[in-house]
A and B are shown apart, each in its own frame.
Chain A
């Protein structure tokens, strides 16, 4: 598989090393070159310094051809933006964003982005370790179906109606400046 990872933190670097060792084609992006020191010495993929929330950068590194796009930086919002660029502008089929805020993770899953939430995973593991009752193991929240029946994407769909439509200009009340 052709995999693009944004963010070379602990999770990003570990995933990149692992996938590379399994023989996949991996490209990892980070705004800091120092972050690449986390990659294993055996890493044979490409590590590119650049902004993963910039469409041009993503295109340059070939993200539009990726089979899987993983947004794994330390910032929830950067991950959201990178993931939405990948989905909406680059039309990558499988996109996952790491979102540690539980509310945001749920909201964006409803908006068409698969999300993984560390807060959920850790809470679940700790409660389980303490022998307390827990729900089903949290997994990646699957994205809601990407398009509505009318063909619009869920995120681009909601636009409110105007109250002045259909009124002739002359019929609008005059407003004093």
Chain B
């Protein structure tokens, strides 16, 4: 695969490095010549010291034959323009943008960027996973935030323990699709029996959260504090 990475900050640098190690063809564009030279010393002459927002420079970098363009600069407006130019001017099949301000996510999606990476949301998400404030963990948002992937650990008292997956009443539009048992991901089939300690991974609309809580953890009002 040929991947064009625009932006040579920490994200762009490590992304390019990993892609090369995985055997992909990579070109990295970084407009600051000093930074570009520094990266080139480290990972070789795949760096172009040019501004990836300029149409001509994208063309020189071979944008029209790229399979993926990843715009990972620190400026949202630059990332948007790089992806739109790649997609609509150079017919790149897949575009990925780093979105620094979560407010811009909806606009980027609406404007046709295929994939969004939101460092702000990721940091918030991993803090939430480290400090289990809620018993339902939000792992990811999909489809512009309408759908959520959540994780619930089945503790003593959960009505789901000992039941087959098909017997756990799910709110409409929600589905359990995997459990993590002893750190191994197991696909859930209708006859999979849920056991204590399972981490259940479900997907559903954001408003189904209360119902999911009731089915997987227990009645939200009669809660045992986590770890008690």
A111 to B87, CA, bound (A): 11
Q: Is A85 a contact of B53 with CB atoms below 8 Å?
A: no
CB distance from A172 to the nearest CB of B (A): 12
Q: Which residues on the B side are within 8 Å of A154 (C-beta)?
A: 88
B93 & A81 in contact (Cβ 8 Å cutoff): no
* B80 touching A107, Cβ below 8 Å: no
Interface segment, A38-46, A61-69, A155-163? A155-163
Q: Is B198 an interface residue (CB 8 A)?
A: no
- CB-CB under 8 A from B53, the residues of chain A are 76-77, 101, 104
Which A residues lie within 8 Å of B169 (CB)?
Answer: none
Q: Which one of B59, B87, B88, B103 has the highest number of Cβ atoms from chain A below 10 Å of its Cβ?
A: B88
Label chain B's interface by main secondary structure.
helix
**A interface, size bucket:** 20 to 34
Number of A-B contacts (CB under 8 A): 75
B88 and A54 contacting across the interface, CB-CB below 8 Å: no
Q: Are A54 and B80 in contact (CB under 8 A)?
A: no
Tally chain B residues at the interface, Cβ within 8 Å. Answer: 24
Please, how many angstroms separate the alpha-carbon atoms of A159 and B112 in the complex? 7
Q: Is the interface of A mostly helix, strand, loop or mixed?
A: helix
Tell me the B85-122 residues at the A interface (CB within 8 Å).
85, 87-89, 93-94, 103, 107, 110-112, 114
Closest B residue by C-beta to A99: B81
> Which residues of chain B (30-74) have a CB below 8 Å from chain A?
53-56, 59
Given contacts A77-B53, A156-B111, 5 further A-B contacts (CB under 8 A): A76-B53, A81-B107, A101-B53, A155-B84, A157-B112
Residues of A within 8 A of B (CB): 53-56, 75-78, 80-81, 84-85, 88-89, 101-104, 107-108, 110-111, 154-160
Rank and list the top 4 A-B pairs by shortest CB-CB distance, nearest first.
A103-B55, A77-B77, A81-B77, A107-B89
